């Protein structure tokens, strides 16, 4: 067996790290793909995105978002439902036009991964 493949019941270590990071994002907060990569000190936003696309279903994927605050295409309503349930800061659309969903207010919702339990002082 020169071919040593990874166990089927285990994820690549990098993937597990990404999922771990996603799990520790507190409700009402989000981290960008790039932030997660930076927090891991390895890989880049595309690698994090790849992991989320493949294994994100096992973690609160809606807390890992794009840097521009756009909701996940194909899961916009689902993500939005979670955001409203968790009180995640959203930037309401000022345009009266419908079909235009709100984006995340990154300035308030972005979490740096410093302290999961932030006091309000």
Residues in contact with DNA by CB under 7 A are 32-35, 43-50, 52-53, 56-57, 61, 64, 66-68, 72-73, 75
Q: Which lies closer to DNA via its Cβ, residue 57 or residue 119? A: 57
CB of 119 to DNA, least distance (A): 27
CB of 105 to DNA, least distance (A): 11
CB of 116 to DNA, least distance (A): 20
Contact 17, 26 (CB under 8 A): no
Contact 15, 55 (CB under 8 A): yes
Contact 100, 115 (CB under 8 A): no
Residue 69 CB contacts under 8 Å (≥ 6 apart), including other chains: 91, 103, 104, 105, 106, 109
């Amino acid at each position: 067996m020169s071919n040593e493949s990874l166990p089927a019941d285990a994820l690549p270590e990098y993937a597990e790290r990404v999922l771990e990071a996603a799990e520790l994002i507190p409700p009402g907060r989000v981290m960008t793909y790039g932030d997660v990569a930076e927090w891991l000190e390895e890989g880049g936003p595309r690698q994090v995105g790849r992991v989320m696309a493949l294994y994100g279903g096992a973690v609160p994927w809606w807390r890992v978002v794009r840097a521009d605050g756009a909701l996940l295409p194909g899961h916009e309503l689902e993500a939005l439902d979670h955001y409203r349930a968790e009180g995640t800061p959203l930037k309401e659309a000022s345009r009266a036009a419908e079909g235009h969903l709100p984006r995340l207010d990154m300035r308030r919702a972005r979490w740096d991964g410093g302290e999961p339990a932030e006091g309000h002082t």
